[in-house]
A = this chain, B = another copy of it.
């Protein structure tokens, strides 16, 4: 069983949970129509299903060996990448000024999910290339853009994002890579970067590295970091490739998963230093890099959704085929498909409900990003920007957390077969494990949410969101459909817990930052559980409203399941946030010695 892009599911969530229909009605997306959206999703789904998905295990088995400084990508990957860029997928959301298609981030988010589900290791390179192109478009000098941007938008060249050094992971203030000014306006880059995704490969003729480095006279800490574009091959004035730059891949990591994605240690300056071009202003590199990182964070959230979707499809297919035991109410006297056993149903519903909730949160985030660019008045753009800022850490952390949980359940549903590598379920479990770590660990996301996002506009951003969630509960109460069981009560309790936890954190932030930090992770989960539960309820409401062709019974069932099985965690999570900080701070002795 391989992956089949759930185009109908994706379109439904786009339209009804992420507000695509409303945005189209408002004219926010210009002359884009629902038909065109459906057509794009259909094509993306075909490409993901037919071309990329079969490469997933190939990448896992072959990996990306390094020999003589060159990384050999797995069989078939180069051809697939070429076909993918030729079809224009890399520039889907990029500006038409640079050869992109200018489509909404929301549509690109849906496509990113499909690329990653088809093969997470494949999707990763384009994700970073898109981020690099966006940073260059936002901050680069015109000449630099003319030279590099069209190729980064088309995907003819790929981009990398180079932050990490051995002593500087989550804390970039410790960064040591050096940049020295040259007479000609370029910079001499020397140093070492680690954990560089797609740092070296043979998919494209050139690779455009975006490297954080420090000038000799830079202030210490993160305010002394600059961003440089360092191409693998320098580019001649006529656009052809020139000399090899002084950068090389020193080694490729042997990782737990995403074996098809080369993770490289990069060395700058074997031969006197690489030539780098400043992007943005000196010492303002981190701000430029954040342009890339915010989009990449949403992209990594989508990886969580993607791997969860693929794991769910595989487990469901197995549970339909595999027969063991006789279910209590089975008509057939023989063995039942394991899908007929309530505990297996529970696992599969957890998988499906988690995946759909995470998908809705990610798409809502993408929709807010679009609104932050496209709303007509500035106040609305500002509000949308705050909404996107608020939701990004939730989208990243919750989706990747459930990515692991769902992939693990997928192994469990397979029983012993799940532990055998040939089955494929184990690969999802291995691949999913990185997404909670890179682009800012989920702990960092939670801290970002609590310390930077909750205080936005004095708490107004989060309160406006809570108000919308309450609106969903009111609508659920209003429709009063018995198929929704206790959904309204459970979601209402979750929102109340979230509200109390929010108030508590906002108060503690000022007086006891340690306590707020201690509660950040359970708070993010609580936020996601409330938001995800309400998004699924919105989908259920929409499914009952819209005409034929929508799986109303399934949507109602998933919304109810999420409320009664996942949102019920909210009371415990609230206590972890509010009372739990003291327990952590008091338990230091248990970690000593």
Contacts and interface: CB of A to CB of B under 8 A. Distances in A.
A38 interface: no
Contact of A345 (B416, B483, B572, B591): B591
Given A415-B441, A513-B328, A343 B583 contact: no
Interface string A577-593: 00111111111111111
A561 B554 CA distance: 39
Q: How many copies does the complex hold?
A: 2
A253 to B, nearest CB: 5
Contact of A437 (B195, B344, B345, B416): B416
Interface string A333-354: 0010001011111111100110
Given A256-B430, A257-B419, A430-B430, A591 B437 contact: no
A570 interface: yes
Interface stretch (A72-80, A289-297, A515-523): A515-523
A553 B588 CA distance: 9
A317 to B, nearest CB: 11
Interface stretch (A121-129, A166-174, A276-284): A166-174
- Give the dominant DSSP class at A's interface: helix
A581 B565 CA distance: 9
A483 B255 CA distance: 42
A514 interface: yes
B404 A408 contact: yes
A85 to B, nearest CB: 28
Contacts of A310: none
Nearest to A326: B171
Nearest to A408: B404
A242 B421 CA distance: 37
A344 B345 CA distance: 34
Interface stretch (A12-20, A21-29, A442-450): A442-450
Interface string A347-388: 111001100000000000000000000000000000000000
A342 B430 contact: no
A411 B514 CA distance: 24
B587 A561 contact: yes
Contact of A518 (B335, B346, B592): B346
Interface in A517-557: 517-518, 520-521, 551, 553-557
Nearest to A581: B342
A164 interface: yes
A564 B590 contact: no
A335 B166 CA distance: 14
A219 to B, nearest CB: 15
A411 B426 contact: no
Interface string A407-421: 010011001101111
A560 interface: yes
Nearest to A583: B564
A164 B168 CA distance: 49
A469 interface: no
A342 B518 contact: yes
A352 B433 CA distance: 21
Contacts of A585: 342
A569 interface: yes
Contact of A170 (B415, B434, B572, B593): B415
Contact of A557 (B416, B551, B589): B589
B324 A171 contact: yes
A79 to B, nearest CB: 27
Contacts of A515: 342
Nearest to A560: B583
Contact of A483 (B443, B520, B572, B586): B586
A218 interface: no
Given A256-B419, A485-B582, A572-B570, A517 B446 contact: no
Given A253-B419, A343-B517, A486-B579, 8 more contacts: A254-B421, A342-B515, A343-B447, A343-B518, A343-B521, A485-B586, A564-B575, A569-B572
7 contacts: A256-B429, A342-B514, A346-B518, A412-B437, A412-B442, A553-B590, A565-B576
Give 5 nearest A-B pairs by CB, closest first: A557-B587, A553-B589, A342-B518, A568-B572, A256-B426
